[in-house]
Amino acid sequence: MKYKKQQLWLAASLPLQILFISWLKSYPEWIERYYSTGIYPYISYFFRITLGWIPFSVGDLLLIVVVFLGIRFLYLFFKKFRKKGISLLIRLFSFISVLYFCFYLFWGLNYFRTPLINSLNLKNQTYSTEQLISLAEVLVQKTNDQQLLITQDTLESVIVPYKPEELYSKATQSYNELSKTYPQFSYHHPSVKSSLMSVLQSYNGAAGYLNPLTGEAQVNYKIPKTSFPATTCHEIAHQIGFSAENEANFIGFLAAIHSKDKYFQYSGYKMVLRYTLVEIYKRDKIVYKTVLEKINGGVLKDFHKTKDFWDQYENPIEPILKKGYDTYLKANNQKSGTKTYNYVVDLLISYYLNNPSR
């Protein structure tokens, strides 16, 4: 009976937790000071030190267990609803309550920290089409230069020669370089792993993810290698406490271009060039075609390879999963949902206005 009372208390605490988080997210400065730059780094260090040395993804195994328990619960719920329906619901909500608490304590509160643009002293402004085009021209030139440096031929696509483990190591080195300019992005005790569910991630349309319950950065090892460096740097950005997708994209980009490795620089520039092209296409399709004509053939081939990769995994369930993820992001302070990824362009324009030489 005592155990059942504990479950009842846990279940009852769920709405109180939700109310508390709703109240707490109105104080981003407090979260920034006491959580994101206070206790979170220690939580993150603990998980990375504890699990980082394990060669496989503990988080993926945990996720498999959770899915199994979920299926088992549904089976028992429909089988024993008349006799144990209320008891099973209490167990379910007590379990959700624990997950909810762990999610926000271990990582999720970072969704409500102060915006990155403030801590980097960048200007938050609505950019013009002219500024967008100027950014595109810079990124086209940077991407073309790296592609030509690697291949010595503007028409050749880039072949990344590294294994995943080498890329993870080089990503850590990239952050070491970045931290020389931006100490707030320092990264120690790496814990980056190939996802055990990379095939499933491909069908889900995900290049990687951070497991908030284990602190492991997961990368879909099946994605094209030219996307691998930027994706890895993106997931590390989540790992060090930057939850917003546009901010993780921006930090991942900075880490990649600060790398001494030309493949990382190429991957970083190619990633943000794609986001910039999408924004130009939305505003002016004629200008979009003009900008596209300036991109090296080898870069365009890499774009097509990436598109072909994702196209082969298209399935009827993917839009439903993406809609669910969109709802999740909106519930966690990203009002535009999955469109938030593209907001990296805002940060890029502000950054290049301050750092035209980069």
Q: Tens of pLDDT along 303-322?
A: 999 999 999 999 988 888 78
Q: Tens of pLDDT along 205-257?
A: 999 999 999 999 999 999 999 999 999 999 999 999 999 999 999 999 999 99
How many other C-beta atoms are found inside a 10 Å radius of the C-beta of residue 327? 12
Is the model's pLDDT at 71 over the cut of 90?
Answer: no
Residue 135 in tokens: 């950014």
Is the model's pLDDT at 178 over the cut of 80?
Answer: yes
121 by Cβ neighbours in 10 Å (0-12 / 13-18 / 19+) ranks as exposed
What is residue 90's predicted lDDT score, i.e. its pLDDT? Answer: 85
Higher pLDDT, 275 or 72: 275
Long-range contacts of 65-74 (CB under 8 A, 24+ apart): 69/95
Is the model's pLDDT at 5 over the cut of 90?
Answer: no
Is the model's pLDDT at 36 over the cut of 90?
Answer: yes
Instruction: Report residue 91's pLDDT band, with 50, 70 and 90 as the boundaries.
Output: confident
Average confidence score pLDDT of the chain: 91
How many other C-beta atoms are found inside a 10 Å radius of the C-beta of residue 188? 14
Distances (CA, A) of 204 to 194, 220, 252, 312, 319: 16, 11, 22, 12, 9
What is residue 259's predicted lDDT score, i.e. its pLDDT? Answer: 97
Amino acid at 202: S
Higher pLDDT, 311 or 337: 311
- Out of 23-27, 245-249, 327-331, pick the least confident: 327-331
Phi, psi torsion values for 88, nearest 5 degrees: -65, -40
Question: How many residues are listed for the chain in this entry?
Answer: 358
Q: Tell me what percent of the residues of the chain surpass a pLDDT of 70.
A: 95
What is residue 82's predicted lDDT score, i.e. its pLDDT? Answer: 64
Listed in sequence order, the residues at least 6 apart from 65 whose beta carbon sits closer than 8 Å to its beta carbon are none
What is residue 1's predicted lDDT score, i.e. its pLDDT? Answer: 45
Q: Tens of pLDDT along 118-151?
A: 888 787 667 888 999 999 999 999 999 999 999 9
Asked whether the beta carbons of 247 and 265 are under 8 A apart, the reply is no
| Nearest C-alpha neighbor of 258 from the set 188, 190, 192, 180 | 180
How many other C-beta atoms are found inside a 10 Å radius of the C-beta of residue 123? 9
Q: Tell me what percent of the residues of the chain surpass a pLDDT of 90.
A: 72
353 by Cβ neighbours in 10 Å (0-12 / 13-18 / 19+) ranks as middle
What is residue 81's predicted lDDT score, i.e. its pLDDT? Answer: 65
What is residue 324's predicted lDDT score, i.e. its pLDDT? Answer: 84
Which residues share a beta bridge with 208? Answer: 219
What is residue 358's predicted lDDT score, i.e. its pLDDT? Answer: 61
Task: Give me the mean pLDDT over the 343-353 stretch.
Answer: 88
| Alpha carbon distance 209, 215 (integer Å) | 10
What is residue 355's predicted lDDT score, i.e. its pLDDT? Answer: 66
Is the model's pLDDT at 266 over the cut of 70?
Answer: yes
What is residue 356's predicted lDDT score, i.e. its pLDDT? Answer: 59
